[in-house]
Amino acid sequence: MKNNYRKLKFSILLQTVLVTALTVLVGGFLLNYVIDGVYNDWFARAFISILTTFQVEEKTAIDLYWRLIGDNKTFFMVVGFLLLFALFFYVALSKMTKYLDQIDHGIENIISESTDPIHLITELKPIEIRLNEIKATLKRQELEASEGEKKKNDLVLFLAHDLKTPLTSIVAYLTMLEDHPDMPEEERKAYTHIALEKSIRLGELINEFFDITRYNLQNIELEPVEIDLTMMLEQLADELYGVLQEKKLTCEVDVEEDLMIYGDPDKLARVFDNILRNAIAYCYADTEIRIEAKMKDGDIEITFTNAGDKIPGDMLQTIFEKFYRVDGSRSTGTGGAGLGLAIAKQIVELHGGRILAKSDDNRTQFVVTLPSKEKTEQKEGSEDEVHTHRRLAFRGKAGRGKRVQSK
């Protein structure tokens, strides 16, 4: 960074040298031509003449001349040189203060939020670059703050909408039950069941909002353990058997044998659950959902594939943003609050992995890539981390091609 100011240093040095040289030249001229040179007699006569005009005797005036000037030439020479140097240096400072004026102009450009880039003189090029970097950083932070404010407003909007819908339905059905005590038993059971479903739905939405707030505002600490991936995915498919049955879907789990991962089982289970529920929500009826896991390039790749409408290319990244849902899902019972995939993305990234979506005609895939157990342990070893609470989760004999289907 020091070398970046070489031109500035050279410019200041050059100005200092010029001021010194000019002082020596002018001072030498005055010394040789005024004090000791051709103007010496004229200067002395002028001094004596001035004194005599004030009725000072000529002899006394000559004596004063030698006492004050003639015998103190060295003193006057030093004082004269210092005064000349100060004068010329002051003039040179006007050139140097131009640097400060340039910097002030650059700062004013930042404060005024001008869209024009900052331009300074050549000597101040490093400062120009730095000021433009600061300007770009402030602009980016302003946009991020604006986007954060927009997302906060969206949170309030979505919260009001998503919670109000099931709550309104619950109040309506319960009011109907209260207003019609003589309602037939079958009809009463039906309305009670609907109110219960809406209540469960409301609870799920509240949990989603709590989860996304927790992942945004807290430093989540993982509790990594060794996980049997086959058992985890098969257990997940079993737990969602009822949901699969409603849409007459089948789910096939195909995992390489003895495939182990090292991560937080609860949080990874949440990731896979969110992805599978999303696949079920947008999958065609009477089709198959495939869950495959294999080792690839030293990482573990888990792929969820379902048959469904194509997701446009510009939305493949948007779906991982908070509150995003494919058009029309807001009115469905399976659409969620649009937070599931956002939560899944955050958890995967906490594990040092990545998640992406692919979609073509009638097929959509979600691919989760996580570091293998060996790679994770190598990283931990290089960082000298010691895990004192390691437990084995989802432990069991790995199976292949388990099929969960509706009956």
pLDDT at residue 368, rounded to an integer: 95
Q: Is residue 292 within 8 Å of residue 229, measured between CB atoms?
A: no
The C-alpha angle 43, 45, 48, rounded to 5 degrees, equals 110
pTM over 0.85: no
Q: Give how far Cα 174 sits from Cα of 52, 169, 192, 199, Å.
A: 122, 9, 8, 11
162 with 253, same domain: the answer is no
Residues 108 and 179 in one domain: no
Rounded Cα distance between 355 and 274, Å, is 13
Are residue 72 and residue 207 in the same domain, yes or no? no
Final residue belonging to a domain, choices 217, 241, 272? 217
Residues 268 and 156 in one domain: no
Q: What is the CATH number of the domain that holds 383?
A: 3.30.565.10
Alpha-carbon distance 38 to 32, whole Å?
Answer: 8
Shared-domain flag, residues 112 and 211 = no
- Gap between the Cα atoms of 148 and 139, Å rounded: 14
Q: What are the contacts of 25-33 at 24+ separation with CB within 8 A?
A: 26/84, 26/88, 27/77, 27/80, 27/81, 27/84, 30/80, 31/77, 31/80
Q: Which domain holds residue 366?
A: 225-405
pLDDT of residue 5: 65
Q: Are residues 67 and 199 in the same domain?
A: no
What are residue 305's DSSP bridge partners? 290, 365
H or E stretch at 305: strand 299-306
Let me know whether 249 and 395 are in one domain. yes
In the prediction, which pLDDT does 333 show? 46
Q: For residue 264, with 0-12 CB atoms within 10 Å meaning exposed, 13-18 middle and 19 or more buried, which class applies?
A: buried
The pLDDT profile of the chain, 407 residues, written as one tens digit per residue, is 455 667 667 777 787 788 788 777 777 777 666 666 555 677 777 878 888 888 788 888 888 878 777 777 777 777 777 887 887 777 777 777 777 888 888 888 888 878 888 888 777 788 888 889 998 898 888 888 887 777 667 766 766 766 777 788 888 889 988 888 888 999 889 889 888 888 887 887 787 677 666 655 455 678 889 999 999 999 999 988 888 888 899 999 999 988 888 899 988 998 998 899 889 988 998 999 999 999 988 899 999 999 998 888 777 777 777 555 554 443 444 444 456 787 788 889 889 999 999 998 889 999 999 988 666 666 655 544 433 333 333 433 334 445 544 43
Length of the chain: 407
Instruction: Give yes or no: residues 205 and 352 share one domain.
Output: no
Both 212 and 234 in one domain: the answer is no
- The whole-number pLDDT of residue 156 equals 67
Whether residue 374 contacts residue 297, with contact meaning beta carbons closer than 8 Å, is answered with: no
Q: Given this model, what pLDDT does residue 300 score?
A: 94
**Domain total in the chain:** 3
Residues 193 and 276 in one domain: no
Among 96, 116, 136, the domain-final residue is 116
pLDDT of residue 400: 40
